[in-house]
Structure 1
């Protein structure tokens, strides 16, 4: 099931990269060829980049691809190494739970306001925070389970 979720997220990220590229190319065309700009084409790609970054963080977590300073950790005995990894993963899970909860509160307060350039609610773009937080909790929880099973 997680492979399907990963594929879905990869597809969404790919589509967002394509949309961002199209918006930027359109804006360049309008500015330099038609001597007119698309006001929204500056703001929307910035919001899409946030989606790309957060969903990409989930994909990196699923593949254990985040940067880690593990030189000291590698010197630990296997049991201590695993305990430190579990504590670290639990701390990060706690962070993402808190981020998810606080982002829902933020969306509840200001999510219905429109962005500056289009009649799209800010909550549409902000919703990446609770979505990505949930995905990160899933990814890290799976990694925790795998660490203990492989012990």
Structure 2
């Protein structure tokens, strides 16, 4: 399981890093075209916005992997070990359900709906950029299941990024 988790995490780190690097390059391009060439690039500004959304959602999946999502440990730590396990599992189940309903189910619906609309500057279907919603939903669901397995096996510490 650890090898599987580490493989997915490495891929996510790479995609998030590539997204960030592309955003930096495209933003520099925007500044160059706007202030030096006096001919602003509209397509790069639009692409940076979509890449930012991708990077944010991929980063949220990485946070889910590390069990770094929102929780209140000061309250959980006041309970006995079995209750702590139960509460930690409950938190993961809530994250799983959120990912399944909002990101996967809602993401598939909005992606399908948006495939008929084109971006203004890039001329590609907007749904292409929305694919990240169900993708990250599935990744979050995988990570929450792996987290529940870890919790039940007594490995409750937060995961370190790979």
TM superposition score category, shorter chain reference: over 0.9
Q: Which runs of 4+ in 1 moved over 4 A?
A: none
1:54-73 matches, within 5 Å, as 54-73=57-76
Unaligned runs of 5+ in 1: none
Secondary structure at 1:113's aligned position in 2? coil
Work out the CA distance in 2 between the residues paired with 1:73 and 1:2. 26
What's the TM-score, normalizing by structure 1? 0.94
Matched, 1:88 2:91: yes
Unaligned runs of 5+ in 2: 156-162
Q: 2:149 aligns with which of 133, 145, 148?
A: 145
Match of 2:110 in 1: 106
Check conservation: 1:111, 1:126, Cα contact below 8 A. Answer: no
Work out the CA distance in 2 between the residues paired with 1:123 and 1:67. 29
Q: 2:25 aligns with which of 22, 26, 29?
A: 22
Match of 1:132 in 2: 136
* 1:53 Cα deviation after fit: 0.6
Match of 2:43 in 1: 40
Match of 2:158 in 1: none
Q: Which has the higher contact order (CA 8 A, sep 6+)?
A: 2
Aligned residues: 151
Check conservation: 2:111, 2:131, Cα contact below 8 A. Answer: yes
Q: What are the Cα deviations for residues 54-111 of structure 1, in whole angstroms up to 9, with x where unaligned?
A: 1111112212233432111111111111111111211110110002111101111222
Match of 2:13 in 1: 10
